[in-house]
Amino acid sequence: MIITDFLEKNARLYPGEVSLVEVNPSDETDRAKTWREFNLIESMTGQPYRRELTWQNFDRAANRFANLLLTRGVKKGDKVGILLMNCIEWLPIYFGILKTGALAVPLNFRYTSDEIDYCLKLAEVSVLVFGPEFIDRMSPIKDGLTDIRHYFFVGSEAPDFADSYDEMIGYCSTQPPAVAIADNDDAAIYFSSGTTGFPKAILHGHQALVSSCLTEQNHHGQTHDDVFLCIPPLYHTGAKMHWFGSLISGSKAVLLRGVKPQWILEVASHEKASIVWLLVPWAQDILDAIENGTLKLEDYDLSRWRLMHIGAQPVPPSLIRRWKHYFPNHAYDTNYGLSESIGPGCVHLGVENIHKVGAIGKPGYLWETKIVNENDEEVSVEEVGELIVKGPGVMKCYFNNKEATDEVLHGEWLYTGDMAKRDADGFIYLVDRKKDVIISGGENIYPVQIEDFLRANDKIKDVAVIGLPHERLGEIAAAIIELKEGMTATEEEIDTFCQDLPRYKRPRKIIFANIPRNPTGKIEKPVLRSIYCGDRLVEAQTTK
């Protein structure tokens, strides 16, 4: 079985039922008027637009795009990039790519021009679909992307180097393309990064995508009557693979383009959401708004909301205790995973185990786990080792990177790089990461990128970036800076210097101090963490 079979099944069983809804509470658009198969519904109060798509039209749209790609010479094994904000076109485009036998290559919408250029070349992308938010980032690099044969633009007023997606698909057949695809065929490439910050291209097959559907539905029990409110970006394996629970059950999902607490509760109320996946900052903001009186729960009908689950970063137990105080009827779950393990689910807490909040849980459905020492021997209860996982969602390889693949794939086992321990009841707790990746608000921040940027400052002799605990974001990036002899600088000066970095990469805290290095010249980050982290949480007012 391949992943597109689920979509075609839903189109047969539930042709006129809604599959996807897009709600944008803040921005006007005319894109809804450009596709006749969309049904533009009357807007909610204060919301510029709401668009919806039936299962039949979802499948037809995927078929249209697949046939459009085939007319452009796309063949099995080619790579088609997706550079879009969350929108109702995103998933039909993704499935259209898969129906051709090509590989879908989603890109992080936070990428800079240089990062987009690097990833497109790394994955050998030959066709790119992008939206209006990325014109300024694509324009300076397009001439150097000599392997890209075609650009498709989703939106009005396509730039001169791209074809209009909205116009072109109207001429294409709604019949499925006659391409034979097997479950062991390649399906998608996702991007990840190690501690160096250089993205790796993660190759997954159709079998991995199908396994993530089965794992997700087993964990959260999606039925045809559920409504999933999806807020995180679809380029990430987390959001898409949680949506796979909607795909396998033929149930409705709502894509909300915005994270304000009022918008989340308003859309959950209006759309009768039953499952909502949040990141820690969004849950924190909702609770803060309730407690300061900005939001009043009695203003919303949240009676169908049955499950709140969180992933992508460590979850403070105190947050869940607060959540259960205001939402006592919600089941709660947390999920652990990596893009290399097809996203969330290789370890999960389980809704029945809320008493173990703080743990990431037990092996997920279809998954096995071990915690091993440096000799690959399983460690004892409460002993720290590296978490390794095995299951049908393990990546095939890092595309075009055998050396990196061999570092993390040992037989069927994926070495996560995360240090963990298991308690006497079999629950797994993360202790630290071998990698220095900082997870702030669900986004990965790679210290080396920030360090390299700061070292360009003439006043800076040395710099180390570490994560500091933060109540709302999980972690924030802190830059410990050693100035050159005789130089002076202020936090405000460094903050101004960092304005050229993407906002999410800017250090939230600046510390002027010496940088300890070991005899081989490596920065001793464990020493810095012991000095500046400890058990302290950085308060919100310390951030910039």
Pair (37, 180) in one structural domain: yes
Last residue of a domain, one of 433, 453, 472: 433
85/108 same-domain check = yes
Please spell the DSSP secondary structure of 144-179, one letter per residue: G-TT--EEEE-SSS--TTSEEHHHHGGGS--SPP--
Clarify whether residues 182 and 82 are in a common domain.
Answer: yes
Select from 405, 433, 461 the last residue of a domain. 433
Q: How far apart are CA 173 and CA 180, in angstroms?
A: 18
Q: Are the beta carbons of 79 and 103 closer than 8 angstroms?
A: yes
* 202 assigned to some structural domain: yes
Amino acid 193 reads S
Same domain, 93 and 190: yes
In a domain, 189, yes or no: yes
Q: How many domains is the chain built from?
A: 3
pLDDT value, residue 1: 86
Same domain, 177 and 119: yes
Residue 419 corresponds to which amino acid? M
Taking 70 as the pLDDT cut, the residues of the chain under it are: 26-48, 193-197, 312-314, 432-435, 518-522, 534-544
With respect to residue 115, please indicate whether it lies within any of the assigned structural domains: yes
Q: Is 400 among the domain residues?
A: yes
d(CA 273, CA 270): 8
Same domain, 362 and 464: no
Do 492 and 407 lie in one domain? The reply is no
- Could you tell me if 107 and 239 lie in one domain? yes
d(CA 369, CA 413): 9
Q: How far is the C-alpha of 58 from the C-alpha of 410, rounded, in Å?
A: 39
Based on the fold, state whether residues 469 and 397 are members of the same structural domain: no
pTM to 2 decimal places? 0.82
CATH of the domain at 514: 3.30.300.30
Q: Which of 195, 192, 193 is nearest to 523 (CA)?
A: 195
Residue 281 located in a structural domain: no
Residues 229 and 88 in one domain: yes
CATH for 345:
2.30.38.10
Same domain, 58 and 158: yes
108: domain CATH number is 3.40.50.12780
Q: Which of 402, 418, 433 is the last residue of a domain?
A: 433
Three-state DSSP state, 531: helix
pLDDT at 26: 67
Using CA atoms of 431, 435, 441, 442 in order, give the dihedral in degrees to the nearest 10.
Answer: -100
- Whether 327 is covered by a domain: the verdict is yes
In this structure, are 175 and 253 located in the same domain? yes
Closest-CA residue to 484 (of 520, 512, 523):
512
Structure tokens at 161: 């180097």
Range of the domain at 314: 307-433
Rg (the chain; Cα; Å): 23
- Asked whether residue 484 is domain-assigned, the answer is yes
Question: Is 296 within a domain?
Answer: no
